[in-house]
């Protein structure tokens, strides 16, 4: 078993360099159908978390350019307002709004949900994009490890609290969880907050993203009769501020072969626009196609950890009523 982790890293590196880079996007895009992205979505309400920069920004702009009403959920008010102005100017769409919310805090997510309920609007598309790769162990004011708080607990709390509004948009409602190819290096684990002595932010991020993909499958099964579609995806290796800050060596090594933020957001927008009958419930998508959730011989399939027990803990951590 001591060889498993090095093998996962090697398999991920080889597979990723071939597929996740800009050259991978160029190759895969040869099979894209331009008409898939020509859909207009006026009248649809979209929520995008982490929307002030990077892939979240490109997603919000892409949805706004197609006529959607977009709610940009951002932690920083000033950066959020600057991004909002840029999107409105670029798209000519004035139905783009800023919602200030720190996804790492369940109290903030609850406040956002409470305020949103006063709008009495359906949610057609929820994009859980906000993510964090923090290399040092940090703990939120609520007592949770920071990566977990943003990537898992924040995503869980936001999705659960938006379910009533998503149901209002059924049968066209959908949730898109932005995961990462990094999850290929991790099996599902119930060590949600990384209890080991030597904290590894990259490994914790991979664990978090594996949980996100499993949560997507769980939600898809649980709400298949509610008219809500649940999908996860990963954007490939894109040149974002987050990557530059969290993985500077990786960013420098692949400089010139990282995807643009628009290329990273492409599959998110594609998932938002496609008829649901063309999509696989609970599916994991990459470059406009369903992708495998495990790499060969990486020993990530056989975990005995149950997503149900993880969900129970997330219910407890978030302190929201089970739906």
State pLDDT tens for residues 100-159.
Answer: 999 999 999 999 999 999 999 999 999 999 999 999 999 999 999 999 999 999 999 999
- The CA distance from 165 to 321, in Å, is 16
Dihedral pair phi/psi, residue 160, rounded to 5°: -60, -40
Confidence of residue 322 (pLDDT cuts 50, 70, 90): low
- Answer whether the bond into residue 322 is a cis peptide, omega within 30°: no
- The CA distance from 130 to 60, in Å, is 12
Q: Domain coordinates of the chain in residue numbers?
A: 4-318
CB contact at 8 A, 238 and 260: yes
Q: What is the dihedral of CA 229, 319, 138, 80, to 10 degrees?
A: 50
> For residues 268 and 2, which has the higher predicted lDDT (pLDDT)?
268
11 exposure class (CB count in 10 Å sphere: 0-12, 13-18, 19+):
middle
Q: Residues 279-290: what's their mean pLDDT? A: 98
| pLDDT of the residue at 1 | 46
| Homologous superfamily in CATH for domain 4-318 | NAD(P)-binding Rossmann-like Domain (3.40.50.720)
- The CA distance from 96 to 197, in Å, is 44
- Whether 6 has a pLDDT exceeding 60, the answer reads yes
Rg value, the chain, Cα: 18
Separation in Å, CA 45 to CA 101, 172, 267: 18, 11, 19
- Positive or negative CA dihedral for 288, 292, 294, 296? negative
Structure confidence by residue, pLDDT tens digits, 57-101 = 999 999 999 999 999 999 999 999 999 999 999 999 999 999 999
Q: Residues 265-291: what's their mean pLDDT? A: 98
CB contact at 8 A, 306 and 142: no
205 given a catalytic annotation? yes
Separation in Å, CA 143 to CA 105, 140, 316: 10, 5, 13
Query: With a threshold of 0.85, does the pTM exceed it?
Result: yes
Separation in Å, CA 132 to CA 103, 205, 281: 10, 8, 26
Task: Catalytic residue, from 71, 205, 231, 285: name it.
Answer: 205
- Whether 323 has a pLDDT exceeding 60, the answer reads no
Q: Residues 181-204: what's their mean pLDDT? A: 95
Give Cβ neighbours of residue 191 (< 8 Å, ≥ 6 apart): 207
């Amino acid at each position: 078993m001591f060889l498993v982790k090095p093998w996962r890293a090697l398999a991920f590196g080889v597979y990723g360099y071939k597929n996740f880079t800009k050259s991978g996007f160029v190759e895969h895009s040869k099979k894209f159908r331009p008409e898939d992205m020509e859909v207009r979505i006026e009248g649809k309400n979209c929520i995008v978390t982490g929307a002030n920069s990077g892939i979240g920004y490109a997603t919000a702009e892409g949805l706004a350019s197609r006529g959607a009403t977009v709610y940009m959920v951002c932690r920083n008010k000033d950066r959020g307002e600057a991004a909002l102005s840029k999107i409105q100017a670029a798209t000519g769409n004035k139905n783009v709004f800023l919602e200030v919310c720190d996804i790492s805090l369940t109290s903030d997510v609850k406040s956002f949900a409470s305020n949103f309920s006063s709008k009495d609007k359906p949610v057609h598309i929820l994009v859980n994009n906000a993510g964090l790769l923090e290399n040092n162990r940090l703990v939120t004011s609520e007592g949770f490890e920071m990566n977990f708080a943003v990537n898992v607990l924040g995503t869980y709390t936001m999705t659960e609290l938006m379910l009533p509004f998503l149901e209002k948009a059924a049968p066209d409602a959908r949730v898109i969880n932005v995961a990462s190819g990094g999850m290929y290096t991790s099996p599902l684990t119930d060590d949600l907050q990384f209890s080991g002595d030597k904290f590894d932010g990259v490994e914790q991020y991979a664990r978090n993203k594996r949980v996100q993909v499993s949560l997507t499958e769980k939600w898809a099964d649980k709400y298949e009769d509610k008219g809500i579609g649940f999908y996860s995806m990963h954007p490939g290796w894109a040149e974002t501020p987050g990557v530059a800050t969290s993985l500077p060596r990786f960013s420098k090594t692949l400089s010139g072969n990282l995807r643009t933020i628009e290329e990273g957001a492409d599959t998110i927008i594609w998932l938002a626009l496609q008829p649901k009958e063309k999509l696989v419930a609970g599916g994991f998508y990459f470059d406009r196609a369903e992708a495998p959730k495990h790499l060969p011989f990486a020993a990530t399939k056989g975990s005995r950890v149950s997503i149900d027990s993880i969900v129970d803990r997330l219910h407890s951590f978030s302190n929201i009523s089970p739906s």
